[in-house]
């Protein structure tokens, strides 16, 4: 083996040729520079010079991300007159598109940088924080395996799911690595990994985790319903195309040569030092490019050696250095996120599914005059609402609570029946029709049920909480395996006037608490939570609000969630006095509930609340006093009246 750098010899090496980067100043001079695992294989990569220029006008897909849409307009990559229908509803949103969407009035997110989009490719891009929002998942560690290629491909998909759907979607490097039959010692390339994901999707770590001991590939039984899907990746050869992609689409995967001095990088722009017995070529490495800076003449890369290396796991890698621009870089767009990814950001009678050209159709359930359930859907590109089939058993008392599940992305709903029971229906994606899941629950159900697929088990248990006629809350749950029976989890609380579609499995704690809000007899709301880390005990939380006589809807949104591991704010909408009240709880600071806004007229109840793929907009469907369902939405300019959808 060639000689190894110590921190002292590396400092001498850097200073001797005035390299514009430094090693960790806290390392003692006699400390060895750790050699990290690599794993890049260039044998199947295409050279950049062999890749044709990208016809961006042909390959760009519909964009629900207003920031991206503005950049594509500025570069002339799409028709400047292109405006998504939801932007045409009110003129002021065009201004918001150019100034960039402001943070929620609820706080919890940094302010975006205002200013018109640049005419021409941006001189710098940093997806770690762009337009005031974080877009990149946390830095991971390949932990001694030659698996950089799997970490690179996974990071690209995670980034694009965030950019295109505004949710954090941590994916499993182990799923693609072990699913491809690789061992810890095997190298690879990101293009091959993305090909595998195109054919198989990529699941979350709870479905199949990363491990370094070459375990047998055995994901959970519901893997098909918890994978992010992608189309075929795109290769980009020219530097101009690569920058344009980073500016108007998102991060890229790349492969480059590693010399030993790169192991010791801590900050600055990495330029390879002279080759020597200590600074020798070690092999090839794959990383995710999350930005660039023309002033520094460098790519910004996200590495997979943990946060202790480099700038918290990142590095500025000089243009052309270490063969970084020799091979084509690879990009992805058109991600289709799974129901598990979106489960915290919807509640009530509506979800955002993966259907449609942009994989972001809205699915809504209302009730018909014959106590059946009516399915409505909204196309994610044209944003037009459509009435679909009637379902149910003519026993629906109120709008159902709808969710998407890991059963092959099935839609599942639970509603209160006219006989004070609960009824379960599900839409089988394979058969493309609804099935009756049976009646269950207490004999005295008397409220809107909260209904989710939770954390326990794989597939996760169904969890339901509903008010009963004795003024309490009743928790029911179903293990999603044989014998598929519902179980009474007991009653809790008192003085409950109304339950609502406000049940969520939050990101709070290790296990993730169950959280809900109910309305008390005095017209106030009370937050309840189940301590899933300490005995699954339901505990009363804060009481807030007044004059409430309708059921609430609640989600855990993206405001305040700085990465995939942080708890987002709770967002709640409820009808009071013929209008809709928006409340929120700052989960990163004082945990207090605040009334943010009041909007709408002639409102009887809130039927649904989601945060979908349209910016960080909140979307509400309300039942009006005339029996019609109406859509409302909030962007940086506040709340807006949307279209009337149809009769509830």
Query: Residue 65: its pLDDT value, please?
Result: 86
Residue 83 located in a structural domain:
yes
DSSP state of 233: -
CATH code of residue 295 = 3.90.70.10
Considering 331, 366, 381, which residue would you say is the last residue of a domain? 331
Query: Residue 100: its pLDDT value, please?
Result: 32
Same domain, 275 and 392: no
The torsion region of residue 571 among left (phi > 0), alpha (psi -120 to 50) and beta comes to beta
582-621 pLDDT, tens digit per residue, is 999 999 999 999 999 999 999 999 999 999 999 999 999 9
CA 144 to centroid of chain Cα atoms? 28
Considering 277, 296, 331, which residue would you say is the last residue of a domain? 331
> Count of residues for the chain?
648
Residue 158 located in a structural domain:
yes
- Rounded to whole angstroms, the Cα distance separating 116 from 103 reads 17
Q: Are strands 422-428 and 202-203 parallel, antiparallel or unpaired?
A: unpaired
Query: Residue 396: its pLDDT value, please?
Result: 97
Which two structure tokens, joined as six digits, stand for 292? 């660039």
Neighbours of 500 (CB within 10 A): 30
* Residue 361: partners with Cβ closer than 8 Å, 6 or more residues away: 352, 353, 354, 355, 377, 378, 379, 380
* Residue 533: partners with Cβ closer than 8 Å, 6 or more residues away: 509, 510, 511, 513
Confidence band for 119, pLDDT divided at 50, 70 and 90: low
User: Which carries the bigger pLDDT value, residue 94 or residue 463?
Assistant: 463
| Mean pLDDT score, 72-89 | 69
Over 80: is that where the pLDDT of 87 sits?
A: no
Over 80: is that where the pLDDT of 251 sits?
A: yes
Same domain, 512 and 547: yes
Residue 108 located in a structural domain:
no
Is 370 exposed, middle or buried (CB count within 10 Å of its CB: 0-12, 13-18, 19+)?
A: exposed
User: Which carries the bigger pLDDT value, residue 279 or residue 482?
Assistant: 279
Same domain, 468 and 509: yes
Range of the domain at 216: 7-99+123-331
Query: Residue 2: its pLDDT value, please?
Result: 86
- Rounded to whole angstroms, the Cα distance separating 210 from 592 reads 37
Same domain, 419 and 567: yes
* Residue 135: partners with Cβ closer than 8 Å, 6 or more residues away: 127, 128, 129, 159, 162, 163, 250
Residue 105 located in a structural domain:
no
Residue 610 located in a structural domain:
yes
Residue 113 located in a structural domain:
no
Query: Residue 120: its pLDDT value, please?
Result: 79
Confidence band for 352, pLDDT divided at 50, 70 and 90: very high
Query: What percent of the chain stands above pLDDT 70?
Result: 94
Over 50: is that where the pLDDT of 86 sits?
A: no
* Residue 45: partners with Cβ closer than 8 Å, 6 or more residues away: 189, 191, 255, 327, 328
Query: Residue 648: its pLDDT value, please?
Result: 87
Same domain, 399 and 533: yes
CATH code of residue 593 = 2.120.10.70
Mean pLDDT, all residues of the chain: 93
How many CA atoms does the CB half-sphere of 226 hold within 13 Å?
24
Residue 40 located in a structural domain:
yes
Residue 488 located in a structural domain:
yes
Asked whether the beta carbons of 505 and 513 are under 8 A apart, the reply is yes
Same domain, 310 and 348: no
Nearest alpha carbon to residue 269 among 250, 294, 288: 294
Considering 281, 303, 331, which residue would you say is the last residue of a domain? 331
Confidence band for 84, pLDDT divided at 50, 70 and 90: low
Same domain, 176 and 259: yes
| Mean pLDDT score, 266-285 | 97
Which two structure tokens, joined as six digits, stand for 571? 């967002």
- Rounded to whole angstroms, the Cα distance separating 154 from 304 reads 11
Nearest alpha carbon to residue 270 among 334, 201, 323, 346: 323
Residue 178's SS3 state is helix
Confidence band for 99, pLDDT divided at 50, 70 and 90: very low
| Mean pLDDT score, 114-129 | 75
Same domain, 352 and 325: no
Confidence band for 78, pLDDT divided at 50, 70 and 90: confident
Query: Residue 530: its pLDDT value, please?
Result: 97
Domain total in the chain:
2
Over 80: is that where the pLDDT of 406 sits?
A: yes
How many CA atoms does the CB half-sphere of 147 hold within 13 Å?
31
The model's pTM: 0.94
Q: Which residues pair with 593 in a beta bridge?
A: 585
Over 70: is that where the pLDDT of 111 sits?
A: no
| Mean pLDDT score, 472-499 | 96
How many CA atoms does the CB half-sphere of 449 hold within 13 Å?
32
Residue 390's SS3 state is strand
C-alpha distances in angstroms, 507 versus 531, 561, 570?
Answer: 12, 10, 11
| Mean pLDDT score, 403-408 | 96
Same domain, 54 and 74: yes
How many CA atoms does the CB half-sphere of 224 hold within 13 Å?
7
Same domain, 262 and 387: no
DSSP state of 328: -
Confidence band for 83, pLDDT divided at 50, 70 and 90: low
Asked whether the beta carbons of 551 and 531 are under 8 A apart, the reply is no
Same domain, 310 and 391: no
Same domain, 347 and 388: yes
- Rounded to whole angstroms, the Cα distance separating 18 from 345 reads 51
Query: What percent of the chain stands above pLDDT 90?
Result: 88
Query: Residue 96: its pLDDT value, please?
Result: 34
């Amino acid at each position: 083996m060639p000689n190894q750098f110590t921190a002292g010899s590396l400092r001498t090496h850097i200073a001797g040729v005035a390299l514009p980067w430094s090693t960790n100043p806290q390392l003692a001079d006699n400390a060895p520079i750790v050699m990290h695992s690599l794993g890049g294989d260039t044998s199947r990569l295409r050279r950049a010079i062999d890749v044709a220029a990208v016809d961006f006008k042909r390959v760009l897909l519909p964009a629900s991300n207003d920031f991206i849409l503005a950049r594509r307009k500025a570069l002339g990559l799409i028709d400047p007159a292109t405006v998504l229908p939801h932007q045409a509803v009110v003129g002021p949103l065009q201004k918001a598109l150019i100034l960039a969407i402001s943070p929620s009035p609820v706080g919890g997110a940094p302010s975006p940088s205002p200013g018109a989009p640049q005419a021409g490719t941006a001189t710098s891009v940093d997806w770690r924080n762009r337009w005031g929002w974080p877009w990149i998942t946390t830095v991971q560690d390949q932990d001694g395996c030659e698996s950089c290629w799997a970490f690179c491909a996974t990071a690209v998909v995670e980034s694009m799911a965030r950019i295109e759907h505004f949710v954090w979607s941590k994916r499993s490097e182990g799923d693609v690595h072990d699913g491809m039959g690789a061992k810890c010692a095997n190298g690879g390339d990101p293009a091959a990994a993305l090909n595998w994901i195109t054919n198989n999707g990529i699941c979350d770590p709870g479905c199949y985790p990363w491990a370094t001991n070459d375990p047998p590939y055995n994901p959970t039984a519901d893997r098909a319903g918890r994978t992010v899907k992608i189309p075929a990746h795109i290769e980009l050869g020219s530097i101009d195309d690569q920058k344009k992609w980073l500016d108007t689409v998102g991060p890229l995967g790349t492969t480059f040569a590693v010399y030993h001095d790169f192991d010791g990088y801590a900050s600055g722009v990495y330029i390879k030092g002279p080759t020597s017995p200590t600074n020798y070529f070690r092999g090839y490495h794959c990383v995710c490019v999350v930005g660039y800076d023309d002033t520094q003449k460098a790519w910004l890369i996200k590495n997979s050696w943990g946060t202790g290396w480099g700038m918290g796991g990142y590095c500025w890698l000089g243009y052309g250095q270490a063969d970084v621009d020799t091979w084509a870089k690879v990009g992805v767009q058109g991600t289709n996120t799974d129901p598990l990814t979106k489960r915290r950001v919807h509640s009530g009678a509506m979800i955002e599914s993966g259907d449609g050209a942009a994989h972001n159709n809205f699915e809504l359930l209302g009730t018909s005059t014959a106590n059946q359930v009516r399915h409505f859907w909204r196309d994610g590109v044209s944003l037009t609402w459509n009435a679909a089939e009637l379902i149910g058993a003519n026993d629906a008392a109120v709008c159902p609570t709808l969710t998407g599940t890991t059963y092959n992305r099935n839609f599942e709903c639970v509603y209160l029946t006219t006989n004070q029971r609960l009824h379960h229906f599900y839409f089988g994606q394979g058969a493309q029709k609804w099935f009756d899941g049976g009646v269950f629950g207490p004999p005295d159900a008397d409220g809107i049920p909260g209904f989710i697929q939770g954390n326990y088990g794989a597939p996760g248990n169904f969890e339901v909480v509903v008010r009963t006629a004795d003024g309490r809350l009743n928790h029911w749950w179903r293990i999603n395996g044989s014998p598929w029976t519902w179980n009474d989890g007991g009653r809790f609380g008192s003085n409950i006037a109304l339950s609502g579609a406000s049940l969520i499995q939050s990101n709070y704690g290790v296990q993730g608490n169950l959280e809900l809000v109910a309305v008390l007899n005095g017209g106030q709301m009370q937050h309840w939570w189940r301590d899933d880390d300490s005995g699954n005990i339901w505990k009363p939380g804060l009481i807030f609000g007044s004059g409430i006589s309708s059921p609430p809807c609640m989600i855990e949104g993206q405001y305040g969630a700085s990465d995939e591991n942080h708890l987002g704010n709770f967002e709640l909408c409820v009808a009071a006095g013929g209008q809709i009240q928006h409340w929120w709880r700052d989960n990163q600071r004082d945990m207090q509930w605040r009334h943010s806004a009041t909007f709408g007229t002639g409102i009887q109840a809130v039927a649904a609340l989601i945060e979908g793929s349209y910016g960080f907009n909140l979307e509400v469907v309300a039942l009006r006093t005339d029996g019609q369902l109406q859509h409302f939405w909030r962007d940086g300019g506040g709340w807006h009246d949307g279209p009337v959808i149809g009769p509830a």
